Amino acid sequence: MSDTAAPAQQRVPAPRQSLARRGSAFFSAHPRLRLGFLISAPLLWLGIVYVVALAALLVTAFWSVDSFTGEISQTWTFDNIVTVLTGSLYQTVTVRTVGVALLVTVIDVLIALPIAFFMAKVAGSRMQRVLVIAVLMPLWASYLVKAYAWRSVLSQDGILQWLLTPFGGSTPGYGLTATVITLSYLWLPYVILPIYAGLERVPDALLEASGDLGGKTWTTLRLVTLPLIWPAIIAGSIFSFSLSLGDYLTVNIVGGANQMLGNLVYTNVGAANNLPLAAAIALIPIAIIFGYLALVRRTGALDNL
């Protein structure tokens, strides 16, 4: 980049010494400043808005609420943390929430793999375009409408019951099964898209080479394709896992009497007006997500979201 100084000896007209050009030359000579220019605005935004907010939430978890006035008292206490760690309610709900989130993630990955593979490697380019649109379109039907649609699909006088009755089946009704079904449905496009993008980047030549060297279809899938798209799979799983972990509306709509961690946080912020306890409960999903991110960091998944 420093080669720009060369034309002085030639007949090339000297560059106009405008302010922009001087600034530009200055920036090209100082890469650190260039970096600083690029990174300062986003870093300030994320730092001020998000890091400070999260840190404040963390601090709030160590405060308490005066039971008479409802005011937050800013004296340090471990009460909330102890309550959350030892209360059987919190343990039960945590296990239930993590179970639901894991199940949703596994279901979504299992559904996403074949359809993403078909989109990326089997369908022609025209078909591919149609399929991407078909997968993306439901994203625009509001989350709430889709959850509500499942409520009606799963209800006793809903379409599922109507379809299954002739075969002697019946709808699972509202409960954890309905929650898992609905959440899997809601996050499916977020899992399909990264896996599809990952598969698209796998060169066909590589798969053909494996075939030429005698690899059977399954061997190729297992030993060539899967390792290459593993980061994309993990990236998709971060979406389904995290979105399920914090959900409280779907479980309200189709979950029957069951609660998830999100519901506990929500009621403590709203109805119970106990922000410190809510913040302490919020530490559970935060810890779980950080654990999950640390676990998958080495796969390179974070570059594939």
Partner 1 sequence: MRLSRLSRSVLGVITVLILAVIYLPLGVVFINSFSTSQSLSWPPPGFTLEWWGKAFQSAGALDAVLTSLQLAVVATVVSLVLGTLISLALQRFEFFGRDAVSLLVILPIALPGIITGIALNNFFRTILGVPLSIWTVVIAHATFCIVTVFNNVIARLRRLGTNFEDASADLGAGIWTTFRLVTFPQLRSALFAGGLLAFALSFDEIIVTTFTAGSGVTTLPIFILNNMFRPNQAPIVSVIAVVLVLVSIVPIYIAQRIAGAERTER
CB 20 → partner 1: shortest distance, Å? 6
Question: Measured between alpha carbons, how far is 254 from 177 in angstroms, rounded to an integer?
Answer: 9
Question: Measured between alpha carbons, how far is 42 from 123 in angstroms, rounded to an integer?
Answer: 39
Q: Does 234 bind partner 1 (CB under 8 A)?
A: no
Tell which one of 120, 195, 243, 280 touches partner 1 (CB under 8 A): 243
Q: How many Cα atoms are found within 13 Å in the side-chain-facing hemisphere of 59?
A: 10
Neighbours of 263 (CB within 10 A): 19
Q: Does 95 bind partner 1 (CB under 8 A)?
A: no
Q: Does 146 bind partner 1 (CB under 8 A)?
A: yes
Q: Does 279 bind partner 1 (CB under 8 A)?
A: yes
Question: Measured between alpha carbons, how far is 154 from 174 in angstroms, rounded to an integer?
Answer: 7
CB 88 → partner 1: shortest distance, Å? 22
CB 215 → partner 1: shortest distance, Å? 7
Tell which one of 15, 70, 87, 99 touches partner 1 (CB under 8 A): 15
Beta bridge partners of residue 65, listed in sequence order: 72
Tell which one of 84, 109, 176, 188 touches partner 1 (CB under 8 A): 188
Tell which one of 152, 203, 222, 300 touches partner 1 (CB under 8 A): 152
Tell which one of 30, 49, 70, 203 touches partner 1 (CB under 8 A): 49
Closest to 112 in 3D by CA, of 206, 198, 172, 179: 198
Residue ranges with strand state E in the chain: 64-65, 72-73
Nearer CB in complex with partner 1: 63/176: 63
Which listed range, 16-24, 77-85, 86-94, 226-234, lies at the site for partner 1 (CB under 8 A)? 16-24
DSSP class of residue 120?
I
Which listed range, 26-34, 77-85, 86-94, 226-234, lies at the site for partner 1 (CB under 8 A)? 26-34
Question: Measured between alpha carbons, how far is 49 from 63 in angstroms, rounded to an integer?
Answer: 21
Q: Which positions from 103 through 142 interact with partner 1, judged by CB under 8 A?
A: 111, 114-115, 117-119, 121-122, 125, 129, 131-142
- Alpha-carbon distance values, 265 to 72, 80, 108, 186, 239 (Å): 16, 13, 26, 21, 20
Q: Does 286 bind partner 1 (CB under 8 A)?
A: yes
- Alpha-carbon distance values, 80 to 189, 235, 245 (Å): 37, 33, 21
Longest CA span, the chain = 90
Q: Does 63 bind partner 1 (CB under 8 A)?
A: no
Q: Does 87 bind partner 1 (CB under 8 A)?
A: no
Question: Measured between alpha carbons, how far is 166 from 143 in angstroms, rounded to an integer?
Answer: 31
Q: Which positions from 248 through 277 interact with partner 1, judged by CB under 8 A?
A: 248-249, 262, 265-266, 269, 275
Tell which one of 176, 178, 232, 282 touches partner 1 (CB under 8 A): 282
Neighbours of 253 (CB within 10 A): 17
Q: Does 240 bind partner 1 (CB under 8 A)?
A: no
Tell which one of 85, 102, 151, 228 touches partner 1 (CB under 8 A): 151
Q: Does 80 bind partner 1 (CB under 8 A)?
A: no
- Which amino acid is it at 265? V
Beta bridge partners of residue 290, listed in sequence order: none
